[in-house]
Amino acid sequence: MKNLIILGLSSLLICLSCQNNKNLSNEVTVAGTIENHDQTVLKILDVMGRGSWEDVVPVTENRFSINLTLERPAIKTLMYGDMRKDIFLQPGKSLEVSFDALNIENSFRYGGDLKIENAVFDSISQRLGNIDYSYLYTQPLDLTSLYMDSLKNDSKEYLKSLLNKYITSPYFEEYANASIDYNVAYLKIMLGDSQEEQYAGYYDFLNELKIEDHDLLDMPDYRMFLYFYLEMETNKRYKDLDSIQNQTADAKFYETLKTIENLKDEEVRAYSLYNTMLMQLKEFGTVDFDRHFGYFNTHNLDERYAEQMRFAYEEKKRIAPGQPAPEFTLEDVDGNQVSLSEFKGKYVYVDFWLTTCSRSARELPYFLKLYSDYKEDNIVFVSISPDKDKNTWLDFVKEKRNVGTSLWSDKFLDSEVTKNYQVLGTPTYVLIDKEGNIIDPVAAKPSSKEIRETFDLLLKSK
């Protein structure tokens, strides 16, 4: 679920009065140039309280421009293929972006009114991203805590040195400092959760933070912090359940809802309820979700979230169990075009994966064993990779996973097949029946006992 968390961001405000907001123009322009544009879709991601998650930005002759209406400073996510950049925006200001599609990492540049803010933010983000996780997860918590505190202090000193050199928006300065605080805080919660026990005082850093702050809801690091904080509090409640209660279906989910009910800030509570319901829907689909939908409709007080939930629910229903599986025709390792309809009369287990995905790599040995155990049965194994580089995919398949039917899809996660199957991350597994209808749009992974039990049950029913 964690990889599905925080898909997009909208407005951001720290210490900005309503009077000041009224004096700002609501228009902000994001424009730029993409060298070697290859028809990859450029998008601005924004999921908070909206019926649609993304704005597609038209690119004409390598140029693009879009005007956004903002009531206050905001952070949005700019997406191009597998590239994601959080960009700081402010009403009445402009941002220019340029990059070479063949070498995005080394060619990305900012310009316009918000050139300095975004260059500084990008630099801080990269600094916070240079974390040695292999070290952190092998060390005791007292050492990892010191490591994270050092990272926080170093990042703040670095930010201070940059702000001493350049004039930036006061809103940005406060945002950048808070972003560092909550970034380190949610990582500390993650590290603490990875250990069975935490030393006395480990979570004292939470006393330095405002846990519930609706003004920060549109800050990505705060929203990540809020997610992991609620998960931590839910785990405490879950551990207090008896052996019968914790075996109840969706027991942990219901404890999460109770944790959310205890939040004092109405806007934070509304967002947390929405986000938790959305993740439940995306991970487990529409089966048995009607009762959760009823709870949401009773407790939600924000029409924006109601609209978003209705949109997500209707989208998910398109690939609900019993619905026709979306047709696809893709290229296999030999250059042949292969369609889903060719497998009618057989069960189809579809694996969406990427060569660069660590979770896909962890499941690979189990996928190969599952294929080996069921390859003589009436089950077809179809692997679909939307890898950006076709040759990388081809070499990987031939060397490590040339079993079943391996297919390649272009345009990364913007491809038609990944959109039709609502693939938000990899690996994602889908199970299709002999008539071409969906059995499970979020099927069990190869390493689980559940998928073997499902296969055996299907094969017995023939």
Q: What is the pLDDT of residues 250-280, one digit of tens each?
A: 889 999 999 999 999 999 999 999 999 998 9
User: Confidence class of residue 243 from pLDDT cuts 50, 70 and 90?
Assistant: confident
State the Cα–Cα distance between residues 444 and 316, nearest whole angstrom. 17
pLDDT of residue 107: 97
Q: Is 7 a residue whose pLDDT tops 70?
A: no
Residue that the structure tokens 């190969």 belong to: 368
pLDDT of residue 5: 40
Q: Is 168 a residue whose pLDDT tops 60?
A: yes
Buried b (16+ CB within 10 A) or exposed e, 192-205: beeeeeeeeebeeb
pLDDT of residue 14: 30
DSSP 8-state assignment for residue 324: B
Q: Beta 379-385 vs 405-408: how paired, if at all?
A: parallel
Q: Which domains does the chain have, with CATH numbers?
A: 1-113 (2.60.40), 329-460 (3.40.30.10)
pLDDT of residue 217: 83
User: Confidence class of residue 51 from pLDDT cuts 50, 70 and 90?
Assistant: very low
Per the prediction, the chain carries an average pLDDT of 89
Edge-to-edge strands of the sheet including 74-80?
A: 54-57, 42-45, 74-80, 83-89
pLDDT of residue 75: 80
pTM, full prediction: 0.82
Using one digit for the tens of pLDDT, what is the confidence trace for 173-188?
Answer: 998 999 999 999 999 9
Contact at 8 Å (CB) between 70 and 91? yes
Using one digit for the tens of pLDDT, what is the confidence trace for 70-110?
Answer: 877 888 889 998 888 989 999 899 999 999 999 999 999 99
Q: Is 368 a residue whose pLDDT tops 70?
A: yes
Mention every residue, 6+ apart, whose C-beta is less than 8 A from residue 211: 226, 229
DSSP 8-state assignment for residue 6: -
Q: Is 9 a residue whose pLDDT tops 80?
A: no
